[in-house]
Every structure is written in structure tokens, then in C-alpha cells.
Amino acid sequence: MTRDIIIAGGGRVGFHTAEVLAARDEKVTVVEQDEDRVEEIADAWIATVIQGDASDPDILEQAGIDDADTIAALTELTGLNLAVCLLATRLTDEIRTVARVDRETNETYDRFVDAVVYPESAGARVAANKTTGEVVQSLADVTGDVEILEISVAEGAPAAGRTLADVAFPAGTLVISGEDGNRISKPDTTLTPGRRYVVAVEPGVVDEVLQLMRG
């Protein structure tokens, strides 16, 4: 399912997060104040980009806040990011909010936003995963380009209810854990809807694996 995501802040963190999300076929809109940065993002063709202040209600409405599933405020200013998220919750119901912070918070901001991102200890993949929610989650400590994902199998997905032996996963995929999380998967491991599985995936086949397990 494609999500509609607004990213406030098109700097290093926001830009690379937008890249990851766009590669996963999410619909991404970036709001950025700096004119030069707006041109760079537009030239990269990774997302719709709007020049303006994301703390301005009119700008958020222009970005499509009414239809957005998530807003990720990823500027360098913690206070601004929190303000953008709180404004978003006033403009629309049931939107997921993600805020970048400048230090580890020990859950200080959990009552204000759905998730926080501390980029100095987590890269763009982690920011992207927190932006989309918990159904697909990268582990923070990833070696090289291989992604280690925790994926919840969706009801009705092509792989749902089938054993690993019966699912044609692409080369570069390794399902690691069984459905109870306490043992290594085997060919007869069944991919049960609603259960989570740890999967190692090479970058080029992430979308195909997600399609099989999420639909």
C-alpha cells in the first residue's frame, strides 16, 4: 500500500529519507524553505517539492496535509520539528507524526509525537522506517548495503499462509526467524498473516520482497 508522506526539511536527513521512501514507491512531498535546496531536490526527481515554511498552516495545506498518512519533520531544529508535528495534528485527524531531535531523549517527546529520529545514531533507512510505521522496520546497526528488516506479513499478501518452500523469493533474500521469533526459519516455516519475520535483503530486491510479504 502506497502511503502519502510529507517531509518537512529537505536537508541531508530529509533528502536521504525521501530517497529511501521514494525507492519504496511511497508518495513523498518535501517542504523546504531554502530556494537553492528546493531546486536541487526538484532536479533529483525523488519527490514533489514545495518551497515554504512547514510551520505555516497554508503551506502544509498546499502540501496536502488533509490526505497525508504521515508527516516527518526532519529539519535541524528540534523545536521547529515538534511545532510542525503538533500543527499537523490540529489540521488533520489520525496522522502519524515523526520528529527529528538533536539529542537522545529517553522518550521525553513520546507524548507529543508518534516517533522520534536521532540521526546521529540512525541513518536515513531508520528515519524512513520510523516514518512509515512499525510494519517494516530496519535494525539500526546494518552492515554494508544489506538491509535487515522486521516485516509483518499482511493478510492477503502473495506470501501469506504459504511456506517458505512455496514462495519464490528473489535471489538476495534470506528469511531468518520463524514465526515465534525463537528459532531459525526452515523450508516448512509458514508465513502467517500478522506475524513478524526477520529478513535479510539485498537493496535491489527490497521492493519485490515487500510486495510478496505486504502486498
Q: pLDDT per residue over 86-145, tens digit each?
A: 999 999 988 999 998 877 655 677 788 988 887 654 455 666 666 666 455 554 444 456
pLDDT of residue 121: 46
CA nearest neighbour of 20 among 47, 42, 60: 47
CA nearest neighbour of 136 among 27, 210, 25, 212: 210
Residues 183, 84 share a domain: no
What does DSSP say about strands 136-138 and 147-152: parallel, antiparallel, or unpaired? antiparallel
Residue 185 is assigned to a structural domain of this protein? yes
Residue 145, H or E segment: none
What does DSSP say about strands 96-100 and 27-32: parallel, antiparallel, or unpaired? unpaired
| CATH at 129 | 3.40.50.720
pLDDT of residue 6: 96
Residues 174, 129 share a domain: no
What is the Cα 48 distance to its own chain's centre?
17
Mean pLDDT of 13-27: 86
Residue 142 is assigned to a structural domain of this protein? no
Mean pLDDT of 139-168: 78
Contacts of 196 (CB under 8 A, 6+ apart): 150, 151, 152, 153, 181
Q: Which of 138-142, 158-162, 183-187 has the lowest mean pLDDT?
A: 138-142
Residue 138 is assigned to a structural domain of this protein? no
Residues 210, 108 share a domain: no
CA nearest neighbour of 162 among 197, 204, 138, 203: 197
How many domains does one find in the chain?
Answer: 2
The whole domain housing 203 covers 147-214
CA–CA distance, 146 with 203 (Å, rounded to integer)? 6
The pLDDT tens digits of the residues spanning 31-83 come to 999 999 999 888 887 789 999 999 999 999 999 999 999 999 999 898 999 99
pLDDT of residue 101: 86
Give the SS3 label for residue 104.
coil
Contacts of 27 (CB under 8 A, 6+ apart): 2, 3, 4, 5
CA–CA distance, 131 with 155 (Å, rounded to integer)? 22
pLDDT of residue 116: 85
What the block records as the C-alpha cell of 106 is 529517553
Residue 100, H or E segment: strand 96-100
Residue 127, H or E segment: helix 124-132
